Amino acid sequence: MNHATLELCSTAADTPVRRRRVTTTPTRVSTASRLTAGVRPTLTVMKCPYVFLVLIVSLLAVSATNTASAQSRSTGIGFQVGEPTGITLKFVRPGVDYDFLAAWDLDDFLYLNAHVLFERRVDMDGDADLRMFYGPGAFIGFRDSPNDDAVLGATFTAGPSLWFGDVETFLQLTPRFELVPETDFDIGGGLGVRFHFR
Protein backbone atom coordinates (compact mmCIF):
# COMPACT_ATOMS: atom_id res chain seq x y z
CA MET A 1 0.00 0.00 0.00
CA ASN A 2 1.52 3.38 -1.02
CA HIS A 3 1.55 6.70 0.81
CA ALA A 4 -1.49 8.10 -1.10
CA THR A 5 -3.59 5.09 -0.15
CA LEU A 6 -2.74 5.40 3.53
CA GLU A 7 -3.62 9.10 3.55
CA LEU A 8 -7.04 8.45 1.95
CA CYS A 9 -7.92 5.78 4.52
CA SER A 10 -6.87 8.01 7.42
CA THR A 11 -9.01 10.89 6.17
CA ALA A 12 -12.06 8.68 5.78
CA ALA A 13 -11.65 7.27 9.27
CA ASP A 14 -11.35 10.71 10.88
CA THR A 15 -14.47 12.12 9.16
CA PRO A 16 -17.43 12.19 11.62
CA VAL A 17 -20.61 10.46 10.58
CA ARG A 18 -23.60 12.80 10.26
CA ARG A 19 -26.87 11.34 11.56
CA ARG A 20 -30.10 12.44 9.98
CA ARG A 21 -32.94 13.20 12.40
CA VAL A 22 -36.20 11.69 11.30
CA THR A 23 -39.35 13.33 12.66
CA THR A 24 -42.82 11.88 12.39
CA THR A 25 -46.07 13.80 12.25
CA PRO A 26 -48.96 12.34 14.31
CA THR A 27 -51.79 11.11 12.16
CA ARG A 28 -54.97 13.12 12.76
CA VAL A 29 -58.18 11.16 12.49
CA SER A 30 -61.13 13.22 11.33
CA THR A 31 -64.60 13.02 12.85
CA ALA A 32 -65.92 11.57 9.61
CA SER A 33 -63.33 8.79 9.77
CA ARG A 34 -64.26 8.05 13.37
CA LEU A 35 -67.92 7.76 12.41
CA THR A 36 -67.01 5.50 9.49
CA ALA A 37 -65.02 3.31 11.87
CA GLY A 38 -68.01 3.05 14.18
CA VAL A 39 -66.68 5.34 16.93
CA ARG A 40 -69.44 7.53 18.37
CA PRO A 41 -68.39 11.02 19.46
CA THR A 42 -68.79 11.67 23.15
CA LEU A 43 -70.04 14.69 25.05
CA THR A 44 -66.58 16.25 25.09
CA VAL A 45 -66.93 17.02 21.37
CA MET A 46 -70.60 17.86 21.51
CA LYS A 47 -71.02 20.96 23.62
CA CYS A 48 -73.25 22.60 20.99
CA PRO A 49 -76.39 20.47 21.63
CA TYR A 50 -76.61 21.68 25.22
CA VAL A 51 -76.16 25.29 24.18
CA PHE A 52 -78.76 24.77 21.46
CA LEU A 53 -81.33 23.36 23.89
CA VAL A 54 -80.77 26.07 26.50
CA LEU A 55 -81.19 28.69 23.80
CA ILE A 56 -84.47 27.21 22.56
CA VAL A 57 -85.94 26.85 26.03
CA SER A 58 -84.87 30.37 26.99
CA LEU A 59 -86.39 31.91 23.87
CA LEU A 60 -89.67 30.06 24.34
CA ALA A 61 -89.86 30.93 28.02
CA VAL A 62 -89.09 34.61 27.43
CA SER A 63 -91.64 34.77 24.62
CA ALA A 64 -94.28 33.11 26.78
CA THR A 65 -93.57 35.47 29.68
CA ASN A 66 -93.75 38.56 27.48
CA THR A 67 -97.04 37.44 25.96
CA ALA A 68 -98.43 36.64 29.39
CA SER A 69 -97.71 40.16 30.58
CA ALA A 70 -99.76 41.57 27.70
CA GLN A 71 -102.73 39.22 27.94
CA SER A 72 -102.84 36.59 30.67
CA ARG A 73 -103.94 33.07 29.84
CA SER A 74 -103.11 29.86 31.68
CA THR A 75 -100.21 27.62 32.65
CA GLY A 76 -100.74 23.87 32.77
CA ILE A 77 -98.69 21.24 34.54
CA GLY A 78 -99.21 17.48 34.45
CA PHE A 79 -97.76 14.23 33.22
CA GLN A 80 -97.60 12.07 30.10
CA VAL A 81 -97.54 8.27 29.86
CA GLY A 82 -96.04 6.79 26.71
CA GLU A 83 -92.80 7.14 24.79
CA PRO A 84 -91.40 8.91 26.67
CA THR A 85 -93.09 9.15 30.10
CA GLY A 86 -92.50 12.31 32.08
CA ILE A 87 -93.65 15.68 33.38
CA THR A 88 -95.21 18.18 30.98
CA LEU A 89 -95.59 21.95 31.19
CA LYS A 90 -97.71 24.07 28.86
CA PHE A 91 -98.13 27.83 28.45
CA VAL A 92 -101.43 28.74 26.75
CA ARG A 93 -101.17 32.12 25.04
CA PRO A 94 -103.17 34.00 22.39
CA GLY A 95 -102.50 32.48 18.99
CA VAL A 96 -99.72 30.10 20.05
CA ASP A 97 -98.90 27.71 22.92
CA TYR A 98 -95.60 26.45 24.31
CA ASP A 99 -95.18 22.84 25.39
CA PHE A 100 -92.28 21.35 27.39
CA LEU A 101 -91.64 17.74 28.38
CA ALA A 102 -89.00 16.37 30.76
CA ALA A 103 -88.66 12.59 30.99
CA TRP A 104 -86.19 10.07 32.36
CA ASP A 105 -85.85 6.33 32.95
CA LEU A 106 -84.17 3.94 35.37
CA ASP A 107 -81.06 3.85 33.16
CA ASP A 108 -80.31 7.51 34.02
CA PHE A 109 -81.39 8.73 30.60
CA LEU A 110 -82.75 12.31 30.56
CA TYR A 111 -84.94 13.57 27.73
CA LEU A 112 -86.03 17.18 27.14
CA ASN A 113 -88.52 18.26 24.49
CA ALA A 114 -89.95 21.69 23.52
CA HIS A 115 -92.68 22.54 20.98
CA VAL A 116 -94.44 25.58 19.62
CA LEU A 117 -98.11 24.59 19.25
CA PHE A 118 -100.97 25.92 17.17
CA GLU A 119 -104.53 24.94 18.06
CA ARG A 120 -107.90 24.84 16.33
CA ARG A 121 -111.19 24.40 18.14
CA VAL A 122 -113.60 21.73 16.95
CA ASP A 123 -117.31 22.51 17.25
CA MET A 124 -119.08 19.97 19.42
CA ASP A 125 -122.05 19.79 21.77
CA GLY A 126 -121.68 19.53 25.53
CA ASP A 127 -119.46 21.13 28.14
CA ALA A 128 -116.19 19.69 26.85
CA ASP A 129 -113.92 21.71 24.58
CA LEU A 130 -112.21 19.72 21.80
CA ARG A 131 -109.11 21.14 20.14
CA MET A 132 -106.63 19.90 17.55
CA PHE A 133 -103.01 20.94 18.02
CA TYR A 134 -99.81 20.65 15.97
CA GLY A 135 -96.38 22.24 15.86
CA PRO A 136 -92.61 21.87 15.40
CA GLY A 137 -90.02 21.49 18.11
CA ALA A 138 -86.63 20.15 19.15
CA PHE A 139 -85.36 17.54 21.59
CA ILE A 140 -82.19 16.52 23.38
CA GLY A 141 -81.42 13.37 25.32
CA PHE A 142 -78.36 12.32 27.24
CA ARG A 143 -77.33 9.48 29.51
CA ASP A 144 -75.42 9.77 32.77
CA SER A 145 -72.64 7.34 31.85
CA PRO A 146 -68.83 7.40 31.47
CA ASN A 147 -69.24 8.31 27.79
CA ASP A 148 -72.05 10.86 28.38
CA ASP A 149 -73.54 10.14 24.97
CA ALA A 150 -76.01 12.79 23.80
CA VAL A 151 -78.53 12.96 20.96
CA LEU A 152 -80.11 16.04 19.39
CA GLY A 153 -82.82 16.40 16.80
CA ALA A 154 -86.02 17.97 15.51
CA THR A 155 -89.59 16.89 16.24
CA PHE A 156 -93.15 17.50 15.16
CA THR A 157 -96.19 16.74 17.29
CA ALA A 158 -99.91 16.63 16.60
CA GLY A 159 -103.06 15.32 18.23
CA PRO A 160 -106.35 16.15 19.97
CA SER A 161 -106.88 17.69 23.39
CA LEU A 162 -110.13 17.56 25.35
CA TRP A 163 -110.77 20.23 27.96
CA PHE A 164 -113.09 19.98 30.96
CA GLY A 165 -112.86 23.39 32.55
CA ASP A 166 -109.22 23.82 33.62
CA VAL A 167 -108.37 20.14 33.14
CA GLU A 168 -106.82 19.18 29.79
CA THR A 169 -106.45 15.62 28.54
CA PHE A 170 -104.43 15.04 25.39
CA LEU A 171 -103.17 12.38 23.01
CA GLN A 172 -100.21 13.16 20.80
CA LEU A 173 -98.06 11.52 18.14
CA THR A 174 -94.48 12.81 17.87
CA PRO A 175 -92.16 11.87 14.98
CA ARG A 176 -88.52 12.47 15.93
CA PHE A 177 -85.63 13.11 13.54
CA GLU A 178 -82.26 12.55 15.22
CA LEU A 179 -79.51 14.74 13.77
CA VAL A 180 -76.58 14.35 16.24
CA PRO A 181 -74.47 12.23 16.50
CA GLU A 182 -76.05 10.36 13.58
CA THR A 183 -79.22 10.60 11.54
CA ASP A 184 -82.11 8.43 12.65
CA PHE A 185 -85.91 8.46 12.79
CA ASP A 186 -88.45 7.12 15.22
CA ILE A 187 -91.97 7.89 16.46
CA GLY A 188 -92.97 8.69 20.03
CA GLY A 189 -96.02 10.09 21.76
CA GLY A 190 -98.30 9.47 24.66
CA LEU A 191 -101.47 10.13 26.62
CA GLY A 192 -101.49 12.77 29.33
CA VAL A 193 -103.35 15.23 31.52
CA ARG A 194 -102.60 18.78 32.65
CA PHE A 195 -104.14 20.99 35.31
CA HIS A 196 -104.25 24.66 34.31
CA PHE A 197 -103.91 27.70 36.56
CA ARG A 198 -104.99 31.17 35.49
Mean pLDDT of 82-92: 93
Mean pLDDT of 32-50: 39
Map residue 144 onto helix, strand or coil: coil
pLDDT score for 62: 53
Q: Which residue has the higher pLDDT, 125 or 13?
A: 125
> Alpha-carbon distance 60 to 115, whole Å?
9
For the domain spanning 42-197, the CATH number is 2.40.160.20
The answer to whether the beta carbons of residues 110 and 87 sit under 8 Å apart is: no
Residue 181's alpha-carbon distances to 35, 46, 110, 140, 152, in angstroms, are 9, 8, 16, 11, 7
The per-residue pLDDT for range 93-132, each reduced to its tens digit, is 988 999 999 987 666 678 899 999 999 999 888 788 999 9
pTM: predicted TM-score of the whole model, two decimal places: 0.63
Q: Terminus-to-terminus CA distance in the chain, angstroms?
A: 115
**Residue length of the chain:** 198
The answer to whether the beta carbons of residues 182 and 151 sit under 8 Å apart is: no
The confidence band for 63, taking pLDDT boundaries of 50, 70 and 90, is low
> Alpha-carbon distance 85 to 110, whole Å?
11
